[in-house]
Amino acid sequence: MKLWNKKVQRVVFAGIVVLGTGTGFVLGVREASKKPVLKIGEPRVRVEGTTATIQITVKNTSESTIYCPKVGIAAVDRDGLDLDSGVAVPDSTDGRLAPRASANFIGTLTEITEEEFDEELDEYVAFIIDKNPCQ
Protein backbone atom coordinates (compact mmCIF):
# COMPACT_ATOMS: atom_id res chain seq x y z
CA MET A 1 0.00 0.00 0.00
CA LYS A 2 1.29 3.45 -0.95
CA LEU A 3 2.24 5.50 2.08
CA TRP A 4 0.97 8.77 0.59
CA ASN A 5 -2.40 7.38 -0.47
CA LYS A 6 -5.67 9.25 -0.82
CA LYS A 7 -6.81 8.51 2.71
CA VAL A 8 -3.57 9.76 4.23
CA GLN A 9 -3.71 12.85 2.02
CA ARG A 10 -7.26 13.55 3.18
CA VAL A 11 -6.38 13.16 6.85
CA VAL A 12 -3.26 15.32 6.58
CA PHE A 13 -5.13 17.96 4.62
CA ALA A 14 -8.03 18.03 7.07
CA GLY A 15 -5.56 18.26 9.97
CA ILE A 16 -3.76 21.23 8.43
CA VAL A 17 -7.02 23.00 7.63
CA VAL A 18 -8.45 22.55 11.12
CA LEU A 19 -5.17 23.46 12.79
CA GLY A 20 -4.68 26.45 10.50
CA THR A 21 -8.19 27.78 11.02
CA GLY A 22 -7.93 27.34 14.79
CA THR A 23 -4.48 28.92 14.95
CA GLY A 24 -5.57 31.86 12.80
CA PHE A 25 -8.57 32.47 14.99
CA VAL A 26 -6.81 32.11 18.35
CA LEU A 27 -3.82 34.24 17.35
CA GLY A 28 -6.10 36.81 15.74
CA VAL A 29 -8.26 37.16 18.85
CA ARG A 30 -5.20 37.25 21.14
CA GLU A 31 -3.57 39.96 19.06
CA ALA A 32 -6.79 41.96 18.79
CA SER A 33 -7.26 41.92 22.55
CA LYS A 34 -3.78 43.33 23.23
CA LYS A 35 -3.80 46.96 24.34
CA PRO A 36 -0.78 49.18 23.73
CA VAL A 37 0.85 50.40 26.92
CA LEU A 38 1.60 53.78 25.39
CA LYS A 39 -1.41 55.21 23.64
CA ILE A 40 -0.69 57.78 21.00
CA GLY A 41 -3.21 60.46 19.98
CA GLU A 42 -4.06 61.93 16.60
CA PRO A 43 -1.28 64.22 15.29
CA ARG A 44 -2.12 67.93 15.30
CA VAL A 45 -0.39 69.63 12.38
CA ARG A 46 0.47 73.26 11.60
CA VAL A 47 2.00 73.98 8.18
CA GLU A 48 3.96 77.14 7.42
CA GLY A 49 5.51 77.27 3.97
CA THR A 50 7.09 73.86 3.58
CA THR A 51 7.57 73.28 7.30
CA ALA A 52 5.13 71.06 9.13
CA THR A 53 5.00 71.21 12.92
CA ILE A 54 3.41 68.16 14.48
CA GLN A 55 2.15 67.84 18.02
CA ILE A 56 0.99 64.61 19.61
CA THR A 57 -0.26 63.47 22.99
CA VAL A 58 1.10 60.24 24.44
CA LYS A 59 -0.61 58.51 27.35
CA ASN A 60 0.92 55.87 29.61
CA THR A 61 -1.86 53.33 30.28
CA SER A 62 0.20 51.08 32.56
CA GLU A 63 -0.51 50.85 36.27
CA SER A 64 3.03 50.96 37.59
CA THR A 65 5.76 51.55 35.01
CA ILE A 66 7.20 54.96 34.25
CA TYR A 67 8.18 55.38 30.59
CA CYS A 68 10.51 57.82 28.79
CA PRO A 69 9.28 57.12 25.23
CA LYS A 70 11.05 58.04 22.00
CA VAL A 71 8.34 59.32 19.66
CA GLY A 72 8.71 59.45 15.88
CA ILE A 73 6.77 61.53 13.37
CA ALA A 74 6.55 61.26 9.60
CA ALA A 75 4.79 62.60 6.54
CA VAL A 76 3.87 59.72 4.25
CA ASP A 77 2.70 59.42 0.68
CA ARG A 78 -0.22 57.21 -0.39
CA ASP A 79 2.08 54.23 -0.84
CA GLY A 80 3.05 54.48 2.81
CA LEU A 81 6.52 55.72 2.01
CA ASP A 82 8.06 58.56 4.01
CA LEU A 83 8.38 61.94 2.42
CA ASP A 84 10.11 63.11 5.59
CA SER A 85 10.45 61.80 9.12
CA GLY A 86 11.89 62.90 12.45
CA VAL A 87 11.71 62.60 16.20
CA ALA A 88 9.28 64.53 18.39
CA VAL A 89 10.52 65.84 21.70
CA PRO A 90 8.57 66.50 24.92
CA ASP A 91 6.82 69.83 24.71
CA SER A 92 7.13 71.09 28.27
CA THR A 93 7.90 68.13 30.53
CA ASP A 94 11.08 66.09 30.88
CA GLY A 95 9.39 63.32 28.89
CA ARG A 96 8.88 61.01 31.88
CA LEU A 97 5.44 59.50 31.67
CA ALA A 98 4.12 58.39 35.03
CA PRO A 99 1.42 55.68 35.16
CA ARG A 100 -1.88 57.04 33.78
CA ALA A 101 -0.16 60.33 32.85
CA SER A 102 -0.12 62.05 29.45
CA ALA A 103 2.44 64.32 27.80
CA ASN A 104 2.67 66.37 24.63
CA PHE A 105 5.46 65.79 22.14
CA ILE A 106 6.34 68.13 19.29
CA GLY A 107 8.50 67.88 16.17
CA THR A 108 9.01 69.54 12.80
CA LEU A 109 9.41 68.20 9.29
CA THR A 110 11.26 70.47 6.90
CA GLU A 111 12.28 68.23 4.00
CA ILE A 112 8.95 68.05 2.19
CA THR A 113 8.98 69.86 -1.14
CA GLU A 114 6.15 71.99 -2.44
CA GLU A 115 5.39 69.41 -5.16
CA GLU A 116 5.26 66.66 -2.54
CA PHE A 117 2.87 68.75 -0.45
CA ASP A 118 0.64 69.21 -3.51
CA GLU A 119 0.75 65.78 -5.11
CA GLU A 120 2.04 63.09 -2.84
CA LEU A 121 1.47 63.87 0.82
CA ASP A 122 -1.19 61.56 2.18
CA GLU A 123 -1.03 61.93 5.99
CA TYR A 124 1.06 62.68 9.01
CA VAL A 125 1.73 59.87 11.41
CA ALA A 126 3.20 59.57 14.88
CA PHE A 127 4.54 56.41 16.40
CA ILE A 128 6.51 55.05 19.32
CA ILE A 129 10.08 54.28 18.29
CA ASP A 130 11.00 52.97 21.72
CA LYS A 131 8.85 52.63 24.83
CA ASN A 132 11.93 52.99 26.96
CA PRO A 133 10.98 52.37 30.62
CA CYS A 134 12.72 55.05 32.69
CA GLN A 135 15.64 53.97 34.87
Partner 1 sequence: MTATEHVKRSVLSPTLTPRPDFHITRKLVGVPKYPLALLTVIYMINVSDQFLLPSMFPLLKREFGLSDTGLGLLAGSYLVSVTVFTVPFGVLADRFSRTKIIAWGTTAWGITMIFTGMANGFAMLLVGRMALGMWDPCDNPTSQSLLADYYPVNQRSKVMGVYQVGQLAGFVLLPIAGTMSQAWGWRSTFYFFAIPAFVVAALVWRLKEPVRGNQDRKHQRLEGGGTTEVKPQIVAKGFAPYKGLLRNKSYMAMLISATAGSLFFGGIGVWAPTFLIRYHDMSIAGATSSIAVVAVGGLIGVLVSGNLADYLTQHKHPSARITVAGFARVLSVPFFLVAFSIPYIALALLSLAIAAMFLVAGIPPTNAARVDVLHPNLRGRGASLDAVSQSLASAASPIIFGILSDITNLRTTFLILSPLAAVSGLMLLTLGLASYGRDARAVRDQVRRDHFASLGFPEGESHEEIGILEPDDEPTLSEAVRAWVPGDGPMLETKSLDFSYGAIQVLFGVDFAIPQGGCHALVGRNGVGKTTLLSNIGGLLDGQSGQIFYRGQDLTGIPPDQRTKLGITLMAAGRSTFPSLSVRDNLMFGSYPFEGSDDLAERRLEEILEIFAPLKGRLDQRAGTLSGGEQQMVALGRALVAGPDLLLIDELSLGLAPTITSQLLDVLDQVLEYGTTILLVEQSIGVALAVADTVFFMDRGVVEPLGPAENLDAAALTRRLIEGRV
**Amino acid identity of 89?**
V
Measured over the CA atoms of residue 3, residue 4, residue 5 and residue 10, the dihedral's sign is: positive
Pick one of 11, 89, 122, 134: the residue that binds partner 1 (CB under 8 A): 122
Q: Shortest distance, CB of residue 20 to partner 1, whole angstroms?
A: 4
- Beta-strand relationship, 82-90 and 44-48: unpaired
3-state secondary structure of 126: strand
Q: Shortest distance, CB of residue 51 to partner 1, whole angstroms?
A: 19
> Which stretch in 6-14, 48-56, 94-102, 103-111 sits in contact with partner 1 by CB under 8 A?
6-14
Instruction: Report how far residue 82's alpha carbon sits from residue 20's, in angstroms, rounded to the nearest whole number.
Output: 35
Rule CB under 8 A: which residues touch partner 1? 9-10, 13-14, 16-17, 20-21, 23-25, 27-29, 31-32, 34, 72, 76, 78-82, 118-122, 125, 127, 129
